[in-house]
Amino acid sequence: MSTPSPNASRPIAWLRLLRPHQWLKNGFVLAGLLFGRLWHQTDLVHLALLSAAAFCLASSAVYVLNDWLDRHDDALHPRKRHRPLASGVISGTEGATLGLACLGGAAWLASQTTPIFMGLLAAYLVLNTAYTLRLKRVPVVDVFIIAAGFMLRLLAGTWAIGIQPSHWLLLTGLFVTLFLGFAKRRAESFHASEQQRAVLAHYPPAFLDLCVGVTLTATLLTYSLFATAPDALERHGPRLWMTIPLVVFGALRYVYQVHRGQAEDFARDLLRDRWIVLSAVGWLLVFASPRA
């Protein structure tokens, strides 16, 4: 059987370098529309979609920067050596050009939105650049920066486009993003030591289990208080409380996957588990159903 040409894999390598599956995280930008039940207001939908697209390009620029800086170390890593830059399928110059193009595209899209959004996107880029250069090696700080990235997306999809976020939405968003960050570190800790990121040497497994438990409890508590609050029931309908069991099930199923070492990539692994997907679809059907 003939060996495929290396050039045949280049388009796929370019796409892999952008990590498009990670764009799922930018769904947080649309939370304001969903929780405000404002999906019928076309001007806000247009603004939110522009904002989400800008975050997609900005996050891809950050991933390219990370892979470009780590390309020599990744080439020696048993798993990361297959990444486009580490493997040499895409050169360092080509990768840098792609990253700058993504950054330019994100800036252009942001210029079509609001000054507040542009400030939030700039904060996201600065924070994640600091994370890539140094802070990803500092325990606890690394997870809080991951959570801050999600919270900036949430604010970009609410405050920056003229939607006032509720306190419950912000609190639930904070705790769920911390939960996902610590769960990611716990899942990564199941790899062999030579495949682990450097910061895991400073994370005792018992401490990570504690952090996952604390943030999961806080997430379920704040969401349950939101889903039973009188103003939320008035806005979303009396069936809102029925979403609580679905959230509990999905979260516990995710913890189960964490302890199997299969939840280190939130965007990819959520979609691989059909039970989590089913609970998410069920939540959406109940949450977005007409108020009665």
Please give the angle made by the CA atoms of 2, 7 and 13, to the nearest 5 degrees: 115
Q: What is the pLDDT of residue 193?
A: 66
Question: What is the signed CA dihedral for 146, 261, 244, 237, rounded to 10 degrees?
Answer: 60
Using the structure block, give the residue that is written with the tokens 């964490």.
258
Contact criterion met (CB below 8 Å) for 255 and 216: yes
Contact criterion met (CB below 8 Å) for 131 and 142: yes
Tally: H helices and E strands in the chain: 14, 0
**Which tokens go with 13?**
């390598």
Residue 172 lies in a domain: yes
Residue 248 lies in a domain: yes
Residue 57 makes CB contacts below 8 A (sequence gap 6+) with: 102, 103, 105, 106, 109
Residue 252 lies in a domain: yes
Expressed as residue numbers, the domain containing 264 is 166-292
**Mean pLDDT along residues 137-163:** 91
Residue 147 lies in a domain: no
Each residue's pLDDT tens digit, 151-176:
999 999 888 888 888 888 889 999 99
Residue 162 makes CB contacts below 8 A (sequence gap 6+) with: 44, 47, 114
From residue 186, alpha-carbon distances to 12, 144, 153 in Å are 30, 15, 24
Residue 116 makes CB contacts below 8 A (sequence gap 6+) with: 159, 160
Burial classification of residue 40, based on how many CB atoms lie within 10 Å of its CB (0-12 exposed, 13-18 middle, 19 or more buried): exposed
Residue 226 lies in a domain: yes
**Mean pLDDT along residues 172-189:** 92
**Which tokens go with 140?**
């606890």
Q: What is the pLDDT of residue 192?
A: 66
Q: What is the pLDDT of residue 269?
A: 74
Each residue's pLDDT tens digit, 273-290:
899 999 999 999 998 887
| pLDDT above 80: residue 262 | no
Residue 220 lies in a domain: yes
Residue 28 lies in a domain: no
The tally of domains found in the chain comes to 1
Residue 269 lies in a domain: yes
Q: What is the pLDDT of residue 232?
A: 85
